[in-house]
Amino acid sequence: MSLRKETVAMIREYARRYPSAQSAIIPALWAVQHEQGYVTAESLAEIATHLELPPSLIESTSSFYSMFLTRPEGRHDVVICVNAPCGLRGADEMLAYSERTLGIRAGQTTQDGAITLRSTPECLGACGGAPMMQVDHRFEENLTSERIDAVFERLRTEPAPHEVVKPKAVAPVKGEKARSGVEGARPRARRTQK
């Protein structure tokens, strides 16, 4: 499966942005994952071709980071942070509640294919809103069982992020220009407040 022309153009633009094409590997991997939902061996080879780098370098980078998926999973990726700050505020209970609600364990996908649930001991960087989870690269903070139910209900009907044809504009952060959401390979996580 070849990458779409838009994704190839993004990868080439990333290569031009940096003094070394190697610096464009992670943004290129994000672009591919946003298009396909995961990164295949074929797409790794294609990235290597477009960046003019050895395929082994692209593969070793993608396999080092747990955020790059190598097989199809649920339409939505839900990651519950169980790092110390979230853990102190009930993350383990929120993970257990999520597993019971979805009928799966962390690392599995719901039968309807809507949600893949994970947990991570690596901090996701939203300690002020602990406990939190990352849903398709967007933060859901101050989790309660009610908030989790609302998120899961919404995800069961929403298309996968990579299936959305036109990216939505990303709300500007104070002091930044508005962005269309296609400039960078990874959209800025949006924090939600209760």
Q: Are residues 88 and 114 in the same domain?
A: yes
Q: Are residues 108 and 147 in the same domain?
A: yes
Residue 193 lies in a domain: no
The whole domain housing 51 covers 5-64
Residue-wise pLDDT tens for the chain (194 aa)?
Answer: 689 999 999 999 999 999 999 999 999 999 998 888 889 999 999 999 999 999 999 999 998 887 788 888 889 999 999 999 999 999 999 999 999 999 999 999 999 999 999 998 888 889 999 999 999 879 999 999 999 999 999 999 998 876 654 444 445 555 555 444 444 334 434 444 44
Residue 170 lies in a domain: no
Element (H or E) spanning 134, and its range? strand 133-135
pLDDT of residue 37: 82
Q: Are residues 57 and 100 in the same domain?
A: no
pLDDT of residue 69: 83
pLDDT of residue 122: 84
Number of domains observed in the structure of the chain: 2
The C-alpha atoms of residue 133 and residue 86 are separated, in whole angstroms, by 9
Phi and psi torsions of 46, nearest 5°: -70, -40
Q: What is the CATH number of the domain that holds 38?
A: 1.10.10
Residue 180 lies in a domain: no
* Assessment of whether the complete model's pTM goes beyond 0.85: no
Among the candidates 64, 84, 112, a domain finishes at 64
The C-alpha atoms of residue 189 and residue 123 are separated, in whole angstroms, by 14
